[in-house]
Amino acid sequence: MGYYFSVVRKPLLNMLAKTGLLVCSNPKQIGNIMGSIKKEVKHTLYIQFLSALGDPLGNFCPKTFNTWPKFSPTIYGIYSQAATNCNDLDVRVLLSGLKYNIPKIQTQKPIDLIIFDKPYSSSEIDCFINMRLQNLAKEYNIITLNCEEFQEEEKEIILSDTKVNHTVLGGTFDRLHLAHKLLLSEAALRADKTVTVGVTEENMLFSKTLWEFIEDTDLRINNVRDFLCDICPELNYNIVPISDPFGPAITDPTMELIVVSQETFKGGEKINLIRRERNLPPLDILPVELVDEPNPNPLEEAKISSSTTRMRLLGTVLKPIQKNSNIPNIPYVIGLTGGIASGKSGVTKHMQNLGAEIINCDLIGHECYKPGKLCYKELVKVFGEQIVADNGEIDRKVLGTIVFKNKDDLEKLNNIVWPYIAAEVQNIIKSSHAKVIVVEAAVLLVAGWQNMCHEVWTTIIPREEAVKRLIERNLAPEHANNRINAQPNNKYYIQHSNVVLCSLWPVEYTKEQVKKAWDLLLKRMPS
């Protein structure tokens, strides 16, 4: 298999194109050319395919307006090849030209690179650009690939050739990926008039891996709409939030076909059961094959999934880092926070092994409880002799039971102890020679100590896992819950953190996340 680029016009000073359009005569070879295209296009790659017979450009609309579903396997093939070869590009296979006799290619984003997968004459290319492209950037490039004849075995996909007026599908659609696009494309390909999409609201997300990372419902709805309007603007789209697994699919008599993944086929059957009970016509169920994740690690799913995308965000910068001009550049201070039992100590251990100095605020705090220490007298004055143990020290277990069930008492304790801990932390930082210091503090954000840090990192775990871990540490369930309730929830931590880590999986995976976060940190730290 060989190819070369030719006919490059109006060169854009070697800049990567933001948006490319691949004019594709042979969808089977897309996998082979994606690698090269990826090097030329930064964000979005539209794909307009010509008739399988390779119509000349001037006549690109295939004469198959009555048999759109026949394009299903081709669309599946393109998205699954894109999954293997350029997962990070926003690939969009345009449907309008396949469904309707539309002379223009409309795209929401202006095209600044046109890629032809075989050579055409200059006049054919000029004619195509002038007659067909509606949203061309002011400056654009043209690339012609010259591929050797290549025929790949086509994966046999058996799909019904149903097409109807109104199709429906549902899902979370977090960080729209190629498998979502495939489902949405099927719904758009088979609908003559309307596509309804149910997008799950937050109440349906809690069982999902790292659900707190899932984009807001409005954003997911917008992304679905943006994609559908781009690939086939001729249809009506009804994109609605749903708070149960059925949404409008069990009430709307006009719906005729539901697109499901192989995994959600049962959900389609359940919808039909309910429709029958309500005397509504059942829906045709169209299952779409799952798209394989090209390089899953052992903890990731074999199919392309948003959970994998979310897991891969761990350790990366999620919230841009603002320069903190109140503190010197060196030592570089990471504030490590996170809920109770979320795995902060494990993370600090890994970071220490990688070269960071660790300041453990719990331990500094515990010093206050020894007789003779600065806060001791005040604490006994506020909470009474009941908190003093037989050895004269303050009994943290007793104090903890008091403060974690009463917000006012916790605030009183914090007001006494935090200034002492903060001063101690600053002293240690001042006299340190380390390049990176990790300040481990469970309630760093509540105390406002991000001011002392360059970055905030957080460890999270699901609430149930935190309760389980605390019970294993001999805490009664009631006390475990009181302690968790005394702290912000994971969403709050994520919103206010630059980097997030999660210790839900085997320790090796936490270690991998920390290593990834550390390597990225070294790259962005001021030298």
Ligand X SMILES: CC(=O)SCCNC(=O)CCNC(=O)[C@H](O)C(C)(C)COP(=O)(O)OP(=O)(O)OC[C@H]1O[C@@H](n2cnc3c(N)ncnc32)[C@H](O)[C@@H]1OP(=O)(O)O
What minimum distance in Å lies between the beta carbon of 486 and ligand X? 4
Q: Which residues from 402-461 bind ligand X, rule CB under 6 A?
A: 403, 410, 413-414, 417-418, 421, 441-444, 447, 449
List all residues 6 or more positions away from 78 whose beta carbon is below 8 Å from its beta carbon. Answer: 24, 27, 30, 47, 49, 91, 93
Which residue, 410 or 520, is less far from ligand X as judged by CB? 410
Distance, in Å, from the CA atom of 141 to the CA atom of 342, rounded to the nearest integer, reads 51
What minimum distance in Å lies between the beta carbon of 454 and ligand X? 17
CA dihedral 306, 309, 311, 312 (to 10 degrees): 180
What minimum distance in Å lies between the beta carbon of 410 and ligand X? 6
Site string for ligand X, 465-484 (x = CB under 6 A): ------------------x-
Strand order in the sheet with 90-93: 5-9, 136-145, 111-116, 17-24, 41-49, 90-93
Which residue, 223 or 458, is less far from ligand X as judged by CB? 458
* Residue 494 and residue 213 in contact, taking contact as beta carbons nearer than 8 Å: yes
Q: Compute φ and ψ for 156, nearest 5 degrees.
A: -80, 115
What minimum distance in Å lies between the beta carbon of 188 and ligand X? 48
Which residue, 154 or 362, is less far from ligand X as judged by CB? 362
Handedness of CA 157, 158, 161, 167 (dihedral sign): negative
Q: How many C-beta neighbours within 10 Å does residue 65 have?
A: 11
What minimum distance in Å lies between the beta carbon of 345 and ligand X? 7
What minimum distance in Å lies between the beta carbon of 457 and ligand X? 14
Site string for ligand X, 316-355 (x = CB under 6 A): ------------------------xx--x-----------
What minimum distance in Å lies between the beta carbon of 379 and ligand X? 9
Which residue, 64 or 482, is less far from ligand X as judged by CB? 482
Site string for ligand X, 360-399 (x = CB under 6 A): -xx--x------------------------------xx-x
List all residues 6 or more positions away from 59 whose beta carbon is below 8 Å from its beta carbon. Answer: none
Which residue, 302 or 363, is less far from ligand X as judged by CB? 363
Cis peptide before 331 (omega within 30 of 0): yes
List C-alpha distances in Å: 34 to 73, 89, 306: 18, 10, 22
What minimum distance in Å lies between the beta carbon of 515 and ligand X? 22
Q: Residue 173: left (phi > 0), alpha (psi -120 to 50), or beta?
A: left
Of the candidates 229, 233, 213, the residue with the CA atom closest to the CA atom of residue 221:
229
**How many residues bind to ligand X according to rule CB under 6 A?**
26
Residues that bind ligand X (CB under 6 A): 340-341, 344, 361-362, 365, 396-397, 399-400, 403, 410, 413-414, 417-418, 421, 441-444, 447, 449, 483, 486-487
